[in-house]
Amino acid sequence: MGEPGSTKFQVDLRRHLREQKVERRLIELICEIAEASKYIINSIRTGDLGVAGTSNLYGEEQLELDVLSDRILQKRLKSSGVVSSVVSEENNDIMQFNCENDVCYSVAYDPLDGSSLVDVNLAVGTILSIYQGDNILLPGRQQAAALYILYGPRTTLVYSTGNGVHEFAMNQLMEYTLVKENITIDGVGGIYSPGGQRNLYTSGTEKYVRSLEESGHKLRYSGGFVPDINQVLMKGRGIFMYPHLQGRPQGKLRLLYELNPMAFLIEQAGGAASNGRMPILDIVPEGIDMCSPVFIGCREDVAMAEKFIAAED
Ligand code: AHG
Ligand code: MN
Ligand code: MN
């Protein structure tokens, strides 16, 4: 990778996408998203932790950070000229934009996942799912690309266009440069991230979690989907789950904005993502706000979850 004499750390996002032979308009789109993230990170770092509808020190109306992040992304996607349909967790309708190209893309995104963690200074992220054409209600397997940006102590961007998973970090010039290529999940055991209230777990999930604990898995749950998934991906082992709960059979996480893009990345890294019975990426969305239980991470751990659920739930 790279020209003679260059190091991997000098490969920026655009160059990496070109070297991966990603379709030209998709490169533009991903680079626009990367640009938007610079403004989002700036709002997270310096913005007032105000509540929508109130005014700040200067008498200006404040926006909640997730609403602000949504506007930043929406504006960029709209002006990119390569996007036809957009749907955001912050917006209940599919928006249609003017795409003047022969190849257009549609984007489903969560502008700021874990926004309630900002006031306690925990890591948050932006998650995006990209399809070619203007249909967003497709099984996740048909995604053209998926990516997330993690706003932690460092800002990182992780993407896949179906040819491996690659991590970039933002440098002091706010450019994303390559950190790690072709990330894989192949280790067994290690960590588990269990979302949802444990006393509402069904018996299959409860027994599964107990088996993880008995086999020595360590609890690592931050409450932020992006950092929790990033941990599994970067450590190359472990499992994240937000299961079906008693009284909440579809769990909490949303298929379009959260699960499909993460499932695409994790499968690309050699891991698996299941709703407990079938792969997340094969679910046909019933609507833009559809939720699903999720068990996602290393293949063996996900297969074990399916076994417990099939036997008990
Ligand atoms: P959002 O902030 O976009 O509404 O989503 C938060 C999500 C996700 O980050 C995390 O995995 C999950 O909610 C945590 O939920 P619990 O508080 O129920 O654990
Ligand atoms: Mn979210
Ligand atoms: Mn959100």
Q: Are 32 and 175 members of one domain?
A: yes
- Residue 6 resides in a domain: no
Enumerate residues with CB within 5 Å of ligand 2 (an ion).
110, 113
Q: Are 144 and 213 members of one domain?
A: no
What SS3 state is found at 47?
coil
Which of 2-11, 57-66, 291-300 tops mean pLDDT? 291-300
Q: Are 134 and 247 members of one domain?
A: no
Q: What is the CATH number of the domain that holds 79?
A: 3.30.540.10
Q: Are 164 and 226 members of one domain?
A: no
What is the domain count for the chain? Answer: 2
Report the alpha-carbon distance of residue 169 to residue 121 in Å, rounded.
20
Contacting residues for 6 by C-beta, under 8 A, at least 6 apart: none
Report the alpha-carbon distance of residue 71 to residue 218 in Å, rounded.
38
Ligand 1 nearest-atom number relative to CA 195: 19
195 ligand 1 Cβ < 6 A: yes
Q: Are 169 and 213 members of one domain?
A: no
- Residue 298 resides in a domain: yes
Residue 188 has a pLDDT of 72
Q: What is the mean pLDDT of residues 30-54?
A: 84
Asked if pLDDT for residue 50 goes beyond 80, the answer is no
151 ligand 1 Cβ < 6 A: no
Picking from 149, 180, 211, the residue at the C-terminal end of a domain is: 180
What SS3 state is found at 129?
strand
Q: Are 81 and 202 members of one domain?
A: no
Q: What is the CATH number of the domain that holds 213?
A: 3.40.190.80
> Which ligand is the nearest neighbour of the Cα of 245?
1
pLDDT digits (tens, 9 = 90+) for 3-40: 444 455 589 999 999 999 999 999 999 999 999 999 99
Picking from 160, 180, 200, the residue at the C-terminal end of a domain is: 180
Q: How many CB atoms lie within 10 A of CB 82?
A: 21
Output the average pLDDT for the chain: 92
- Residue 260 resides in a domain: yes
Q: Are 202 and 284 members of one domain?
A: yes
Asked if pLDDT for residue 47 goes beyond 80, the answer is no
Residue 2 has a pLDDT of 45
Picking from 151, 180, 209, the residue at the C-terminal end of a domain is: 180
223 ligand 1 Cβ < 6 A: yes
pLDDT digits (tens, 9 = 90+) for 103-128: 999 999 999 999 889 989 999 999 99
Residues 17, 15, 45, 79, CA torsion sign: negative
Ligand 1 nearest-atom number relative to CA 114: 2
Q: Give the pLDDT band (50/70/90) at residue 1.
A: very low
- Residue 18 resides in a domain: yes
pLDDT digits (tens, 9 = 90+) for 166-211: 999 999 999 999 999 999 998 776 899 999 999 999 999 999 999 9
**290 CA → ligand 2 middle, Å:** 13
